[in-house]
Chain A
Amino acid sequence: MIADIVIVIAAALFIGVYVSWRAGRIDRLHARVDMAQAALDATLLRRSSVALELATSGLLDPATSLLLASAVHGTRGGDRPRDLAESDLTRALRAAFSQPDFRASINGKEGADELLAEVEAAAHQVFLARKFYNDVVAATREARHRPLARVLRLSGRAKAPEFFEMDDSLVAENTGAPLGR
């Protein structure tokens, strides 16, 4: 009798520990999603601010500048969804950087190399940050999808995180050349 009770209590304890461990994991995953999202956010913001800096630097011709500036403007809470707006900025940057002789036309101007390097670094960081973010989102969604998590509502009221899809390819599709090379 006592043995039975001990077994039941032990089993309940074990299940409880297991469930709370799962719940904790999901919670930690959500926290990691938040962090990854903040990081992605920061890199996107950084990218758009250096792109705007490039647009207003006077290094480029006015048409390219205007193109970049309006793409940057689009990423700052317009009526266009964010993923589309950010993709637009990527394409605008790619169009600017893949002009023939783009480097040669800017070379030698004050601060040009640093600024271009900064834009490229920011664009590359967006690429990384989005990759990490989508990784953790995938893991979280998988964990939330487990039968146990679904039955016991282990994720609580937290909403399922969404993937962030955008065009952040550094390589121009038509030329095969890496951005700006």
Chain B
Amino acid sequence: MAVAVSERLTGVAYRLGWTLICRVPQAWASWVFAKAAGIAWRRQGPGVQVLEANLRRVLSWKYGTDEVDGKELRTLSRAALLSYARYWLEVFRLSVTPTERLVAGMRFQGPNEATLFANLKAGRGVIIALPHMGNFEQAGVWVIARGAGKFTTVAERLRPESVYESFLRFRRSLGFEVLPLTGGGSPFGTLAQRLRGGGLVCLVSDRDLKESGVEVEMFGQKARISAVAALAVHTGAALMPTATWFDGEDWGARIYDEIAVPDTGTRAEKIAAMSQALADRFTEAIAEHPQDWHMLQRVFTEDLDPARLPQIQVPAPRSAAMKVGITCPYSWDVPGGVQSHIRDLAEALLDAGHEVSVISPADDDTPLPPYVTGAGRAVPVPYNGSVARLSFGFLSVSRVRRWIKDGGFDVLHVHEPEIPSLSLLACWVASGPIVATFHTAIPRSRVLLVTYPVVRTGLEKINGRIAVSEAARNTLVEHIGGDAVVIPNGVATSRFRKAEPLPGWPGPGGAIGFLGRMDEPRKGLSVLLKAFTTLGSERPGLRLLIAGRAADPEEVLQRVPAELRDRVVLLGQINDEEKVRALHSVDVFCSPNTGGESFGIVTAEAMAAGVPIVASDIDAFRQVLRGGEAGELFSTGDAGDLARAAGRLLDDPARRAALSAAALVAVADYDWSVVARSVLSVYETVVLGSTQVAVTASGGEFP
């Protein structure tokens, strides 16, 4: 109770002080802050002692001797405290300082300002890594005003909470996206997502004493800095060290050259090398402006409390973190369900802190995400009655073998190993824990009869099988034998969350949407068209947006009365991005399926887009929509019931908003992060008592 009261008092005092600092003339406030800095310096409290210990290392590195002139150190620590006081003053007064002043007062060194914005413009994420120098909040305002728009950063939670909250609100108002470092889950995943989306991430990273930190040498001493390099390795974003300092009344800054990911070495080696390069830049920048490095906390390993050392020196290995190798049988540059599945799974695993490497056929000039290794150009060949782009042959075998050898994976996850491509080859050359995912249901069993002897050696090595649907599982059980766990596809909910509606949609009269094969009767389009005949004649202006493949689109239009035809818009087959936009273009999304749906991925995607849904009450939808809580259900195949349900929704914006909110909550259960956890539990089962994935001595016996 006492704690709470004192915390509340501190909070009130903080806010009072904040208001006061902003109201009085700047000169007065400066004077007060300088005086406070002077007092702190003379009193030599613990913070100042740590500061001096840190600065002593800077000086001894600068002069190359352990003997540091005490007087010089004291002068420097005074300057550093004044600089620190100025930082706080400026932070508090940021809200009353005109942005023009903050931007005009920036003195930039070096050419990399242009590189930063060129990267962002090209859609490549950028990580700005800074030491605790100068006023980095001003630099944040500057970078937003200069055209970055916004950026993402991480802040440690402060006590009292109220102060933290007001800081947070303030920074958000400036356009910073601030993720809490503790108490809100690991920010790593969100940062990785922002970077993959081509965003800017700014992190103060010259200190991280937790196990996540990376040991480097700064000023010739061991120190731990945060592992921002891991973010760059994970996402392919540009890691650009940056320093900020005070330049007279103005501010100075320098962005150093990008620290590129080394071509060779394991992931840990790459991160270590990049972190050291980052520490070298920090050393250089701090040595140039030592008085602006206000580091009042212990940084160097030598200064740390010995009692804390053991656990720091031996970072506890995260037992859950796994090294996963995934093989993709189809060419990465061709859009497809399996490729998207692998991309979303890999990214969900990466975001959960696991190491993932994907090998996939790809054209040499295709830009690949950093976690994908190209296995050379895929060859278009006839397979199963259509032309597929696959990788086979001895060159592919040797590439897969090298990838497995270099990868040191805990588990190998092959997709579609019954397809003549990389996955089958990986099964052939690998030993150790192997998990396979089967995506398709194969109706013709004779193909398997002929080819089974060929694939048997590979398939017999698989320790755990996953099927993405009941149908795929049945194929396995009937034709290959054995069983599989069914783990349906996830929904990359964040991809669907926001999009621009298509131009002119949904329009004043309202709009209903449908997505799926138009000529597949079980998708139920005819039920919807019948319902629209009723709805459309009652509501002038109501439109129907239909996206999906159709053999004969004209025939679809023939099924509605002539006077309604101009209000039915057919988009045909659309890509992923258009799909999201189409979902955001309608007021109500309709899933009229009459059966055959085991999960209803399209419905889940519409939920992720926050569109109110009216769906038939087949089992799959009843489950996804939580029995009607997260979407309106109508009796399957009944056009009249559908028309009534959709009509009710169109007339009731409040109900639509409520359903939309409920859908967003419900669909979180189907997010890839959840699916990835199920997949991980399969990995964990197969690695039990098993060794790492390796290459078999003979390269695989065959057939």
Contact = CB atoms under 8 A, between A and B. Distances in A.
Nearest to A98: B379
B458 A67 contact: no
B512 interface: no
B446 interface: yes
B391 A63 contact: yes
Interface of A: prevailing SS: helix
A91 B428 contact: no
A138 interface: no
Which bracket fits the contact residues of A? 20 to 34
A74 B385 contact: yes
Interface of A: 55-56, 58, 61-67, 69-74, 78, 80, 87-88, 91-92, 95-96, 99-102, 105
Q: Which 10 A-B pairs have the closest CB atoms?
A: A63-B392, A88-B382, A66-B420, A99-B393, A105-B394, A63-B420, A67-B420, A73-B450, A95-B381, A64-B392
Interface of B: 379, 381-385, 390-397, 419-422, 424-425, 428, 444, 446-447, 450-451, 453-455, 457-458, 700, 702-703
A62 B382 contact: no
Nearest to B700: A62
B489 to A, nearest CB: 25
Contacts of A66: 419-420, 424, 451, 454-455
B135 to A, nearest CB: 59
Contacts of A87: 382
B703 A65 contact: yes
Nearest to B394: A105
Nearest to A56: B703
Given A62-B424, A62-B428, A70-B420, A99 B394 contact: yes
Contacts, number: 100
A61 B396 contact: yes
Contact of B421 (A56, A63, A92, A99): A63
Nearest to A167: B382
Contact of A67 (B381, B422, B702): B381
21 contacts: A56-B453, A58-B702, A58-B703, A61-B393, A61-B428, A62-B420, A62-B455, A62-B702, A63-B391, A63-B396, A64-B420, A67-B392, A69-B451, A69-B454, A70-B384, A73-B446, A73-B447, A74-B385, A78-B444, A91-B381, A105-B393
B379 A95 contact: yes
Contacts of B428: 61-62
Contact of A63 (B382, B384, B424, B450): B424
A62 B446 contact: no
A63 B392 CA distance: 5
B383 A70 contact: yes
Contacts of A101: 394-395
Interface centre among A63, A67, A69 (most CB of B within 10 A): A63
A55 B382 contact: no
Given A62-B428, A63-B424, A92-B381, A70 B450 contact: yes
Nearest to A91: B382
Contacts of A88: 382, 385
Contacts of B392: 61, 63-64, 67, 95-96, 99
Nearest to A65: B454
Contacts of B391: 63
Contact of A96 (B393, B447, B702): B393
A99 B395 CA distance: 8
Interface centre among A66, A78, A95, A96 (most CB of B within 10 A): A66
Contacts of A80: 385
A67 B383 contact: yes
A67 B397 contact: no
B381 A62 contact: no
A61 B395 CA distance: 10
B403 to A, nearest CB: 15
Contacts of B393: 61, 63-64, 96, 99, 102, 105
B246 to A, nearest CB: 61
B395 A92 contact: no
B285 to A, nearest CB: 50
Contact of A70 (B397, B451, B453): B451
Contacts of B446: 73, 78
Contacts of A92: 381-383
Contacts of A91: 381-382
Contacts of A56: 453-454, 703
